[in-house]
Structure 1
Amino acid sequence: MTMPDAEPAHWQDRANVAARSVTGLFGRRLLFLPGTHLAAVQWPSKHLKNLLHPWHYWWQAHYVDCLVDAGRRELGNGATPAARFNGAHHPSAGRLASRLVTGIRLRNAFTFVNNYYDDMAWLALATHRLQSLAEETRQPGRRRNARVRKTLTLQFDSASTDDLGGGTFWSKKRDFKNTPATAPVALYYARTGQEAKAQRLVDWLNAVLFDQARGLYVDGARLSPAGEVLVENNLYTYNQGPVLGALLELGGDANLARAAALVAAVAQRLTVPGQRILRCDGTGDGGLFTGILCRYLALAAVDARLPESARNTAQELVTATAEAFWAGRRPAGRGAASATAGNVLFSIHAAQPADTTYPPGAAVELSTQLQAWMALEAAAAIHKSRE
């Protein structure tokens, strides 16, 4: 049975419910080591192997980003113990995110370098935001954050080559360049003062991977044995998100016009038929996709440089999707005495209730719960900015 959507009604309260649920159900120390945090990839989780195998680096990177979202709300509410999403006697969201970054490094064989450049780009974006949060709360992040940026920037520089005319390689195999890697790397460059590099990557995306007919960015391109560029035309919701973010971060008339058009194309082609709810892409990695898109649509919704119609469309998409996730939630536990009491589970698909996609007894994937959390944080950010 789904839970009534009238309590709590405030978007920040709803985001806090999601934050408490994900951290409570999935979060734990890595191998019981103090000062660490990591998320199990599945719930229920009674086995140590769930922390050790399989390893989803980029799921954890988005977990960092979600905690930064919660930390920013804590900051907006005074950054006091009483403002913490999980109560005054628990660590702040920022501190928990810092422990998570430590856990990622240890679990990733004592390094932040990974075989996939898109994975590293997501962590670079998240740690950059974490550092900004630390500075604003007057609790400067560890030198580690600077080392993360230095290490990963070198990785991005090595992967962003002139092969295929530009773009960023997806993996260390260096045989495929795609939107999932190029877009977040471009956004990272733009946010770290490397606008020329960012614009070159965006220009390559526009020239090679932008589908004019659909107004959206397709997956990637590789060289054929004959030396021809072969484009893979699959469309994924999340690819549109970091492109939108990079366009907004870079600014300028051309980029902003593309951003407005991209919002319109998302509304036309990536929603549930007849509704403003964004489509979702299942479990596994796909369980993150719609949440990522919501994160960047939220930036468009409050960007005064965009036409009002684009801002309103972005807000409608995020709000309708978050409302659907919230309305379809179900309790994680049964009864007030349950260890999971107060925690909730969200559906795989926003347009379907969690009782349908995750009936009692089903194994629940971390990615899908982070997705709903991201959507709720995006809605909270929009409504906070418009208060």
Structure 2
Amino acid sequence: MTRGTEYAEGAAEQSPQLWAARAAFAEQGVLARHLRRLWAIPGTRLGVATWPASPRHRLLVNWNYWWQANLLDCLIDAQVRAPSPNRLRTIHQHVRGIRLRNFRQWTNEYYDDIAWLGLALLRASDELGLDTEDALDAITVRLREGWTDHGGGGIWWRRGDNLKNVPANGPAAILLARFAQDRADRQRARSITDWMDGYLRDRETGLLFDGLRTSPDGGIAGLVDIVYTYNQGTFLGACVELAADDRSGIWAERAERTIHAVAHHLAVEGVLPGRRGGDGGLFAGILARYLALSAIRLPEASGDLASWLVFTTADEAWRNRAVAPSGPLFGDEPGIPAITPRGPRDGRVERDLSVQVSGWMVMEAAAALEGHASMRS
């Protein structure tokens, strides 16, 4: 029996509501400390970027578009885990707040931003029944337009830029595979994921590099050979989606390869590493989300190992949480004790909404695995 198998089975033998309860506490803390009306407009909610918040953040001057998308994803996780009319109302208000803060538009210049929001809005539609058709049409049209042959293919990171990277292509591939209004979208998702595998995979470790820059003639100017956790997660998520109708087994094989690469070359004794605050605060949680999805949807592709990585990371994050008003407060590194910030001038990364949403996301990933194990038993 592998270590992953032992851990997955051991976790399933715990209280069937252990991780669900921890996810609920995490949700309570994040929403109480960060969720506010947008500019006092009734019927709106947005996540404040920090807690304790500076005056600028309290006024929601800073616009962290993709943080809001992942906050929305966590709200949907919670609603699926424990349906509540109050939370459903909050989800409606949050979607409205995002659109109003984005000046009544669903898109911006960043293809990664809109792909993240598209993923959350598609789940809101499919799993909760929200009408997000107009938003999804606007987002997917923009993503389809983002593909060019520069650098061998792929979608741009931003309009007018020369960077093509996993942060844009990974979530775009997942969204197009799920949305799939026609066979062409499914093929687009395959082409995007093939491009990431062919151009950005490190042949030595199996991990995905961040991206590549193109030259004016369409060639490759250079490789951005940084390895980020969340890029492994979105590539894994795309493979999971594409494995659903694949008889060759190639996508399940790629998913399994990625899980092993994470376990052997990124995780430290099963714990996913953090990457400070800011945007990096979200990285570990996103990888945990797609590891859990892979374990549930493709259990034969090293599902036990994927589960072990999620539960081990969740255990460490919970054990090292700090005490804060309304609920637990997480650090950016699951294996290091979190420290409660002293005020709005404290530079600790624990203040960042991204870090707290990531911690909550890890708890929801563990709760999803727990719930899946309970259904099977």
SS in 2 for 1:218: coil
Tell which deviates more after alignment, 51-60 or 18-27.
51-60
Equivalent residue runs for 1:260-339 within 5 Å: 260-272=256-268, 275-304=269-298, 306-307=300-301, 310-332=302-324
Residue 224 of structure 1 and its aligned partner are, at CA, apart by 3.4
Q: Which has the higher contact order (CA 8 A, sep 6+)?
A: 2
Runs (5+) with no aligned partner, structure 2: 1-13
Query: Judging changes above 3 Å, is the alpha-carbon distance between structure 1 residues 39 and 234 closer, same or farther for their aligned structure 2 residues?
Result: same
- The alpha carbon displacement at 1:49 in A equals 4.3
What residue identity is the alignment partner of 1:122?
Answer: W
Matched, 1:223 2:219: no
Out of 36, 42, 51, the position equivalent to 1:43 is 51
Note the C-alpha offset of 1:61. Answer: 0.4
> Residue 119 and residue 300 in structure 1: after superposition, are their counterparts in 2 closer, same or farther (change >3 A)?
same
Counterpart residue type for residue 262 of structure 1: T
Structure 1 stretches of 4+ moved >6 Å = 6-9
Q: Deviations over 1:60-98 (max 9, x none)?
A: 000000000001012xxxx4xxxx4xxxxxx53332122
- The 2-side partners of 1:239 and 1:318 are apart by 16
Provide the identity percentage: 39
Q: Is the counterpart of residue 113 in structure 1 residue 107 in structure 2? A: yes
Given that 1:39 and 1:51 are in contact with CA atoms closer than 8 Å, whether structure 2 keeps it comes out as no
Partner of residue 8, structure 2: none
- Relative to structure 1, the CA distance from residue 14 to residue 221 in structure 2 (aligned partners, 3 Å threshold; closer, same or farther) is same
Q: Which moved more, 1:18-27 or 1:158-167?
A: 158-167
2:27 corresponds to 1:19: yes
- Which letter does structure 2 place at the counterpart of 1:130? A
Q: 1:158 Cα shift?
A: 1.2
The structure-2 alpha-carbon separation of the partners of 1:382 and 1:108, relative to structure 1 and needing over 3 Å to count, comes to: same
3-state SS, counterpart of residue 298 of structure 1:
helix
Amino acid in the other structure paired with 1:269: H
1:68 is matched with 76
Aligned partners of 1:385 and 1:49: how far apart in 2?
38
Match in the other structure for 2:332: 348
CA RMSD across the alignment: 1.9
Residue of structure 1 aligned with 2:232, choices 240, 264, 273: 240
What's the CA shift for 1:161?
1.7
Deviates more, 1:121-130 or 1:91-100: 91-100
Query: Shift of residue 48 of structure 1?
Result: 5.4
Does the CA-based 8 Å contact 1:302-1:382 persist in structure 2? yes
Paired with 1:367 and 1:349, the residues of 2 have a C-alpha distance of 13
Partner residue of 1:195 out of 171, 186, 203: 186
Q: Does the CA contact (< 8 Å) of 2:45 and 2:90 recur in 1?
A: yes
**What is the alpha-carbon distance in structure 1 between the residues aligned to residue 146 and residue 258 of structure 2?**
26
Task: Call closer, same or farther: CA 1:359–1:7 in 2, change over 3 Å.
Answer: farther
Say if 1:94 and 1:133, in contact at 8 Å, map to a contact too: no
CA contact (8 A) 2:329 2:356 kept: yes
The match for 1:146 among 133, 144, 150 is: 133
1:382 matched residue in structure 2? 369
- In structure 1, how many angstroms separate the alpha carbons of the residues matched to 2:239 and 2:117? 20
Structure-1 separation of matches of 2:56 and 2:342: 23
**How far apart in 1 are the matches of 2:122 and 2:197?**
26
- Would you say the 8 A contact 2:320–2:337 is kept in 1? yes
Contact 2:163 2:213 in 1 (8 A): yes
8 Å CA contact 2:202, 2:209 repeated in 1 = yes
AA aligned to 2:235 is V
**What is the CA–CA distance in structure 2 between the aligned matches of 1:201 and 1:242, rounded to whole Å?**
12
Q: SS in structure 1 opposite 2:75? A: helix
* Letter of the 2:79 counterpart: G
Deviations 1:268-322 (A, max 9, x none): 11112xx111111111000000000000000111234534xx1111001100111
Query: In the superposition, relative to structure 1, how do residues 33 and 248 fare at CA in structure 2: closer, same or farther (>3 Å)?
Result: same
Distance in 2 (CA, whole Å) between partners of 1:186 and 1:347 is: 30
Q: What is the identity, as a one-letter code, of the residue corresponding to 2:189?
A: A
SS for the counterpart of 1:211 is: coil
- Cα offset for 1:331? 1.6
Question: How many pairs are equivalent?
Answer: 347
Q: 1:227 to 1:166 in 2, by over 3 A?
A: closer
Q: 1:56 matched to which residue of 2?
A: 64
Residue 323 of structure 1 aligns to which amino acid in structure 2?
Answer: D
Please name the residue that 1:336 is paired with.
none
Please name the residue that 1:256 is paired with: 252
SS in 1 for 2:209: strand
SS across alignment from 1:374? helix
